């Protein structure tokens, strides 16, 4: 059994790779930055066709393959690959114009559809908001003081630790029990922005406070941080619609890994340098 990992240098891919290598499973990575994949040079390839020989399962990372997904799926079928595990998003069934990540280039719907239509054994992993997103929301603000500002403070997100996703990916690549399933991967809590700020304050010891701002001010800040204006508008519109509704927590991480998803405060504790 040899596993091919796309997106092997990302947080999810690295975790999946480490888990598989620790368990003695041969891993091959598709990467332009082979040294960052954490694998010997011989186990890193630069294109799909070169990497598929002898591979039994492939992890399909939507940002790694994008609209070139057919360049992976078709050769995988021809090469005799038996299983595809695809990472997607919890909102993938929403209308395309209500998926903010598409405005940043993500093509979760197209990648998931290509994989599920391959005719191979498939596992679909639909993920909620990554815990690491706070690198772009809370962390930059802390460089200028102890106040974190955002609009719609009652809006909550089920932030999931990428390490949990990576470990589920590793399990899905080798376990027959998950074939044909669509799993929803969430964190163990739905947290508002003030609650996330509280977790960061607890870990860092800084006297952080939260301040609500208007959507217009929030949008200007998001654009100034490099996000497309259309993304900022849609993201804030969806937060307004969500109000104070807290979506239920999925049991799927617990079911696959045998433990509850890692709480957000644990991610903060293990990445505290982000908030220095």
| Per-residue pLDDT reduced to its tens digit, 197-238 | 999 999 999 999 999 999 999 999 999 999 999 999 999 999
The average pLDDT across 10-30 equals 94
| Terminal C-alpha separation, the chain | 42
pLDDT of residue 38: 65
For residue 227, with 0-12 CB atoms within 10 Å meaning exposed, 13-18 middle and 19 or more buried, which class applies?
middle
User: For residue 241, is pLDDT > 90?
Assistant: yes
Is pLDDT at 248 greater than 80 in this prediction?
yes
Structure confidence by residue, pLDDT tens digits, 29-63: 887 655 555 676 667 777 787 789 999 999 999 99
Task: Judge contact between 120 and 82, C-beta under 8 A.
Answer: yes
How high is the pLDDT of residue 149?
97
Helix (H), strand (E) at residue 134: helix 134-137
- CB neighbourhood size of 11 (10 A): 16
DSSP 8-class letter at 263: P
Query: Do residues 111 and 155 lie in contact, with contact meaning Cβ atoms separated by under 8 Å?
Result: no
Over residues 15-22, the mean pLDDT reads 96
Q: State the virtual CA torsion across 261, 16, 185, 82 in degrees, nearest 10.
A: -140
Pair of tokens at residue 39: 């694998």
pLDDT tens digits along 128-164:
999 999 999 999 999 999 999 999 999 999 999 999 9
Query: Angle between the 162-174 and 11-22 helix axes, to the nearest 10 degrees?
Result: 50
The full DSSP string for 65-83 is HGGGTHHHHHHHHHHT--E
Q: What percent of the chain has pLDDT over 70?
A: 96
Mean pLDDT of 246-263: 97
User: What's the pTM value of the predicted model, to 2 decimals?
Assistant: 0.94
Distance CA 139, CA 160 (A): 17
Query: What whole-number distance in Å separates Cα of residue 95 and Cα of residue 150?
Result: 26
Going by C-alpha positions, the residue among 33, 79, 72 that lies closest to residue 56 is: 79
Q: How do residues 82-138 score in pLDDT, each as one tens digit?
A: 999 999 999 999 999 999 999 999 999 999 999 999 999 999 999 999 999 999 999
């Amino acid at each position: 059994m040899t596993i091919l990992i796309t997106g092997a240098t990302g947080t999810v891919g690295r975790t999946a790779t480490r888990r598989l290598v620790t368990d003695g499973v041969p891993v091959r990575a598709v990467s332009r930055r082979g040294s960052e994949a954490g694998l010997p040079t011989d186990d890193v390839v630069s294109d799909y066709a070169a990497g598929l020989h002898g591979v039994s399962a492939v992890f399909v990372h939507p940002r790694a393959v994008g609209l070139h997904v057919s360049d992976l799926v078709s050769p995988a079928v021809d090469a005799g690959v038996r299983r595809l595990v695809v990472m997607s998003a919890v909102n993938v069934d929403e209308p395309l114009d209500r998926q903010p990540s598409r405005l940043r280039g993500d093509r979760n719907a197209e990648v998931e559809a290509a994989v599920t239509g391959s005719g191979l054994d498939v596992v679909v992993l639909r993920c909620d908001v990554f815990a690491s997103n706070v690198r772009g929301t809370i962390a930059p603000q802390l460089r200028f003081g102890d106040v974190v500002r955002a609009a719609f403070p009652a809006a909550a997100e089920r932030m999931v630790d990428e390490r949990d996703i990576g470990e589920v990916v590793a399990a899905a690549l080798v376990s027959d029990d998950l074939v044909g399933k669509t799993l929803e991967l969430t964190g163990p809590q739905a947290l508002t922005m003030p609650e996330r700020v509280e977790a960061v304050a607890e870990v860092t010891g800084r006297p952080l406070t939260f301040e609500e701002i208007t959507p217009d001010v929030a949008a200007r800040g998001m654009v100034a941080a490099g996000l497309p204006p259309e993304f900022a508008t849609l993201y804030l519109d969806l937060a307004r619609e969500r109000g104070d509704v807290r979506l239920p927590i999925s049991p799927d991480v617990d079911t696959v890994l045998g433990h509850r998803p890692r709480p957000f405060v644990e991610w903060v504790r293990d990445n505290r340098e982000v908030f220095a």
